[in-house]
């Protein structure tokens, strides 16, 4: 049985600029650093500085793996090529892996670190909003299987998480929306994050609050046996939609929450969701199934195979008692299927436009 409180406490979140990040990476206690960098991020960084050269100038050996862009990295093929590449270079157990990229790269890099030589230390440098506040924190690592996302993985904490919001300057708007989706999820889970967002504070000021909130939950429940499950608000439907429509994770989570609020909970949470989206100037107000049939069957099929399912005929859903107070409720899969079928025609015209433009 894993009991990892001590390991959890080692994970530090440090807001920093790129130069300071390079300095900190160069001070990591290891003579050899394995850099796993998202290919696109690497090209963008190259325009600013040669990070490999900078780190080597500070006396480290650097072995660089440029990983396929985004989600493409989370495959068996990429995993095999990457670990074989590092092993051929003659690495040792004190090598330290540094993953630089969005959540896909940090999931992938962390998984490589957790399995290489039965586990080497690693550091996470998130470059997307979603990875800064969520994916990069908490040590869930993994790759995808044909049967679903993140089905092969490990719980394996990074030693450090270095957050530099300047990375967001090059991030496409859709990926910002995706990160905002997770931020909105936090605001339903944590009253003070909700209040700050409602005040209309710039989301960048919220990044460290969100990162620390996630870190705190992870410290309380590293293995997701209790409160960490709350972070899955919107994810049961969200993961299904992400898979069916190939949309960014955080955007799928917003639609996942919208479905929970629409078909399972009272609708006042839907108004709160619309309000937050409006404040954050969220663009994705039409659902991925816009003008098409709502995919009840595909969604149900996905949910009934979800790895978070804890029994053959039921699933735990995260709902809200009130804003800031989530709860877990068991749902029979049969009942869920009936609810999806019942709402299918109404969901066809559902959207998240703000009050005044609500069609539904």
Estimate the crossing angle of helix 173-189 against helix 249-259, to 10 degrees.
40
32 lies in the site for ligand NAD, by CB under 6 A: no
Do the beta carbons of residue 101 and residue 64 sit within 8 Å? no
Shortest distance in whole angstroms from residue 175 CB to ligand NAD:
5
Please list, in sequence order, all residues whose beta carbon lies within 8 angstroms of the beta carbon of residue 117, skipping any fewer than 6 positions away: 91, 92, 93, 95
User: To which residue do tokens 């990070």 refer?
Assistant: 51
Residues 198-257 that bind ligand NAD (CB under 6 A): 248-249
Among residues 22, 36, 71, 326, the one that binds ligand NAD under rule CB under 6 A: 71
Q: Is residue 196 part of the contact set for ligand NAD (CB under 6 A)?
A: no
For 194, phi then psi, to 5°, come to -60, -50
Q: Indicate the residue among 23 and 75 with the shorter CB distance to ligand NAD.
A: 75
Residues 154-193 that bind ligand NAD (CB under 6 A): 167, 170-171, 175, 178
Q: In the complex, what is the shortest distance from the CB of residue 137 to ligand NAD, in angstroms, rounded to a whole number? A: 7
Q: How far is CA 88 from CA 63, 84, 99, 170, in A?
A: 11, 6, 19, 34
Contacts of residue 71, defined as CB under 8 A and 6 or more positions apart, other chains included, come to 104, 144
Rounded Cα–Cα distance for residues 285 and 35 (Å): 38
- Least distance from C-beta 47 to ligand NAD, angstroms? 11
In the complex with ligand NAD, the residue whose CB is nearer, 60 or 214, is 214
For position 101 contacting ligand NAD by CB under 6 A, the verdict is: yes
Task: Report, in Å, the least distance between residue 112 CB and ligand NAD.
Answer: 14
Residue 75: strand, helix, or coil = coil
Q: What is the contact surface with ligand NAD in residues (CB under 6 A)?
A: 38, 40-41, 44, 69-71, 74, 101-105, 107, 127-128, 130-131, 134-135, 138, 140, 149-150, 167, 170-171, 175, 178, 248-249
């Amino acid at each position: 049985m894993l009991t990892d409180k001590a390991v959890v406490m080692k994970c530090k979140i440090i807001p920093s600029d790129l130069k300071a990040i390079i300095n900190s990476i160069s001070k990591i206690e290891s003579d050899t650093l394995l850099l796993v960098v998202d290919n696109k991020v690497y090209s963008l960084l190259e325009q600013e500085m040669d990070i490999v050269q900078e780190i080597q100038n500070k006396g480290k050996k650097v072995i660089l793996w440029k990983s396929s862009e985004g989600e493409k990295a989370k495959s068996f093929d990429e995993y095999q090529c990457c670990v074989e590449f590092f092993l051929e270079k003659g690495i040792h157990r004190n090598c330290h892996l540094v993953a630089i990229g969005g959540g896909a790269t940090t999931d992938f890099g962390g998984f490589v670190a957790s399995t290489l030589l039965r586990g080497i230390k690693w550091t996470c440098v998130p470059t997307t909003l979603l990875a800064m506040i969520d994916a990069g924190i908490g040590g869930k690592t993994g790759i995808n299987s044909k049967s679903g996302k993140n089905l092969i993985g490990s719980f394996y904490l990074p030693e450090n998480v270095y957050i530099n919001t300047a990375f967001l300057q090059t991030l496409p708007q859709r990926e910002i929306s995706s990160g905002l989706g997770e931020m909105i999820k936090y605001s339903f889970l944590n009253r003070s994050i909700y209040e700050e967002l409602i005040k209309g504070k710039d989301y960048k000021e919220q990044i460290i609050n969100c990162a620390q909130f996630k870190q705190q939950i992870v410290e309380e429940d590293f293995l997701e046996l209790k409160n960490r499950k709350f972070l899955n608000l919107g994810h049961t439907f969200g993961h299904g939609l992400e898979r069916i429509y190939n949309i960014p994770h955080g955007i799928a989570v917003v639609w996942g929450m919208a479905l929970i609020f629409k078909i399972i909970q009272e609708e006042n949470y839907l108004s709160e969701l619309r309000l937050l989206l409006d404040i954050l100037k969220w663009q994705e107000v039409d659902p991925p199934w816009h003008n098409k049939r709502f995919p009840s069957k595909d969604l149900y099929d996905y949910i009934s195979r979800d790895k978070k399912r804890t029994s053959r005929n039921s699933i735990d859903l995260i709902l809200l008692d009130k804003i800031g107070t989530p709860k877990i409720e068991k749902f029979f899969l049969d009942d869920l299927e009936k609810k999806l079928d019942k709402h299918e025609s109404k969901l066809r015209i559902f959207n998240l436009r703000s009050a005044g433009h609500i069609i539904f």
